[in-house]
Structure 1
Amino acid sequence: MISHPIKHKLRQLLLTICGVLSLSVLAGQALVDATKIAEISRDSLVKIFSVQPENGIHAYKVLYLTTGADGQPDTASGLVTFPDVVSDRGLLAYQHGTTDGPEDVPSRLNAEALLSYAYAGFGYIVTAADYIGMGDSRGLHPYLHAETEASAGIDLLLAARTLAGQLEFSLPDQIFVSGYSQGGHAAMAMARAIQERPTDDLWLTAAAPMSGPYDISGTMRDLVLFSDRSYLFPSYIVYFILGYQEVYGDIFENLEQIFKAPYVQMIDRFRTGAIGLSELNDQLKAAMLLNERSLIPRRMLNEAYLMPVLTDSLHPLNLALRDNDTYRWSPEMPMRLYYCMADEQVAFENSLIAEAYMRDAGAADVQALDLVSSADHGECVLPAVLSSIAFFNSFPITTSSETASNAELHIYPNPATDVISFGTEASAIRSLTIFNTYGQIIENFINLNASEINIAHLPNGQYFLRGTSKEGPFTGRFLVVE
Structure 2
Amino acid sequence: MKRMSRILMVSAVSVALTASGTTAVVANPAEKPRAAAVAPVAADLSRGPLVSVEHLRTLTAREVAAELAGDKAGAWDTGAVRYGLDTFRIVYRTVDAHGRPTTASGLLALPRSGERRLRTVSFTHGTELFKGDVASVSTSVWDQAPALTYASAGFATVLPDYLGLGVGPGPHPWMDVPSETTAALDMLRASRAVATAKGRELRRDVLVTGFSQGASAALGLARSLQEGVDGWFRLRAVAPISGAYAFRDAELPALLAGQTEPKASVIYSALTLVAFNRLHHLYDTPAQVFRAPYDQTIEGLLDGTHTGQEVQAGTPDSIDALLTPRGRAMLAHPTGRLAAALRIADGVCTDWTPRAPIRLYYADGDEQAVTANTARCHAALRARGVHAPRIDLGTPDYGGSRHLGSHQTGTAAVVRWFHSLR
Query: What is the one-letter code of the residue matched to 2:295?
Result: V
Map of 1:320 onto structure 2: 341
Query: What is the one-letter code of the residue matched to 2:96?
Result: G
Q: How does 1:66-465 map to 2 (within 5 A)?
A: 66-87=94-115, 88-110=117-139, 111-227=142-258, 231-233=262-264, 234-248=266-280, 250-272=281-303, 275-284=306-315, 287-288=316-317, 295=318, 297-307=319-329, 310-311=332-333, 314-325=335-346, 326-328=348-350, 329-363=352-386, 365-373=387-395, 375=397, 376-396=402-422
**Is 1:2–1:99's contact at 8 Å kept on the other side of the alignment?**
no
Work out the number of aligned pairs and report it.
Answer: 371
Query: What is the one-letter code of the residue matched to 2:274?
Result: L
**Is 2:177–2:217's contact at 8 Å kept on the other side of the alignment?**
yes
From the superposition, tell whether residues 59 and 280 of structure 1 become closer, same or farther in structure 2 (CA, over 3 Å): same
**Is 2:87–2:108's contact at 8 Å kept on the other side of the alignment?**
yes
Query: What is the one-letter code of the residue matched to 1:245?
Result: N
1:272, distance to aligned residue in structure 2 (A): 4.7
In 2: Cα distance, 1:97 partner to 1:348 partner:
16
Aligned-residue Cα RMSD (Å) equals 2.3
Q: How does 1:22-33 map to 2 (within 5 A)?
A: 22-28=22-28, 29=46, 30-33=49-52
1:35 to 54, 63, 79: 54
Query: What is the one-letter code of the residue matched to 1:119?
Result: Y
Q: What SS does the corresponding residue of 1:366 show, helix, strand or coil?
A: coil
From the superposition, tell whether residues 307 and 173 of structure 1 become closer, same or farther in structure 2 (CA, over 3 Å): closer
**Is 1:266–1:280's contact at 8 Å kept on the other side of the alignment?**
no
In 2: Cα distance, 1:268 partner to 1:125 partner:
37
Query: What is the one-letter code of the residue matched to 1:381?
Result: H
1:101, distance to aligned residue in structure 2 (A): 0.9
From the superposition, tell whether residues 272 and 85 of structure 1 become closer, same or farther in structure 2 (CA, over 3 Å): closer
In 2: Cα distance, 1:103 partner to 1:359 partner:
39
**Is 2:362–2:371's contact at 8 Å kept on the other side of the alignment?**
yes
From the superposition, tell whether residues 177 and 90 of structure 1 become closer, same or farther in structure 2 (CA, over 3 Å): same
**Is 1:342–1:374's contact at 8 Å kept on the other side of the alignment?**
no
**Is 1:86–1:169's contact at 8 Å kept on the other side of the alignment?**
no
Query: What is the one-letter code of the residue matched to 1:392?
Result: F
Q: What SS does the corresponding residue of 2:56 show, helix, strand or coil?
A: strand
TM-score, normalised to structure 1, is: 0.72
Q: Does 1:46 align with 2:65?
A: yes
Q: Which has the larger radius of gyration?
A: 1
From the superposition, tell whether residues 215 and 238 of structure 1 become closer, same or farther in structure 2 (CA, over 3 Å): same
In 2: Cα distance, 1:115 partner to 1:4 partner:
14
Q: What SS does the corresponding residue of 2:87 show, helix, strand or coil?
A: strand
1:134, distance to aligned residue in structure 2 (A): 1.2
In 2: Cα distance, 1:107 partner to 1:308 partner:
35
Query: What is the one-letter code of the residue matched to 1:108?
Result: V
**Is 2:104–2:162's contact at 8 Å kept on the other side of the alignment?**
yes
In 2: Cα distance, 1:264 partner to 1:305 partner:
11
In 2: Cα distance, 1:45 partner to 1:131 partner:
25
In 2: Cα distance, 1:386 partner to 1:320 partner:
33
**Is 2:252–2:331's contact at 8 Å kept on the other side of the alignment?**
no
Query: What is the one-letter code of the residue matched to 1:356?
Result: A
Q: What SS does the corresponding residue of 2:156 show, helix, strand or coil?
A: strand
Map of 1:456 onto structure 2: none
| Cα-to-partner distance string for 1:250-305 (whole Å, 9 max, x where unaligned) | 21111100011132233133145563333212332xx34xxxxxx3x255211134
From the superposition, tell whether residues 228 and 58 of structure 1 become closer, same or farther in structure 2 (CA, over 3 Å): closer
Q: Which deviates further from its counterpart, 264-273 or 366-375?
A: 264-273
Q: What SS does the corresponding residue of 1:174 show, helix, strand or coil?
A: strand
From the superposition, tell whether residues 151 and 332 of structure 1 become closer, same or farther in structure 2 (CA, over 3 Å): same
Map of 2:38 onto structure 1: none
| Cα-to-partner distance string for 1:390-424 (whole Å, 9 max, x where unaligned) | 1111111xxxxxxxxxxxxxxxxxxxxxxxxxxxx
Map of 1:439 onto structure 2: none
Q: What SS does the corresponding residue of 2:262 show, helix, strand or coil?
A: coil
In 1: Cα distance, 2:108 partner to 2:261 partner:
39
1:228, distance to aligned residue in structure 2 (A): 7.0
**Is 1:330–1:359's contact at 8 Å kept on the other side of the alignment?**
no
Larger RCO: 1 or 2 (CA < 8 Å, sep 6+): 2
Query: What is the one-letter code of the residue matched to 1:51?
Result: T
1:109, distance to aligned residue in structure 2 (A): 3.2
From the superposition, tell whether residues 324 and 37 of structure 1 become closer, same or farther in structure 2 (CA, over 3 Å): same
Query: What is the one-letter code of the residue matched to 2:130?
Result: G
From the superposition, tell whether residues 340 and 333 of structure 1 become closer, same or farther in structure 2 (CA, over 3 Å): same
Structure with higher strand content: 1
**Is 1:175–1:205's contact at 8 Å kept on the other side of the alignment?**
yes
From the superposition, tell whether residues 221 and 200 of structure 1 become closer, same or farther in structure 2 (CA, over 3 Å): farther
Query: What is the one-letter code of the residue matched to 1:22?
Result: T
Unmatched runs of 5 consecutive residues or more in structure 2: 8-18, 29-45, 70-76
1:379, distance to aligned residue in structure 2 (A): 1.9
From the superposition, tell whether residues 143 and 395 of structure 1 become closer, same or farther in structure 2 (CA, over 3 Å): same
**Is 2:360–2:390's contact at 8 Å kept on the other side of the alignment?**
yes
Query: What is the one-letter code of the residue matched to 2:323?
Result: L
Q: Percent identity?
A: 26
Q: What SS does the corresponding residue of 1:377 show, helix, strand or coil?
A: helix
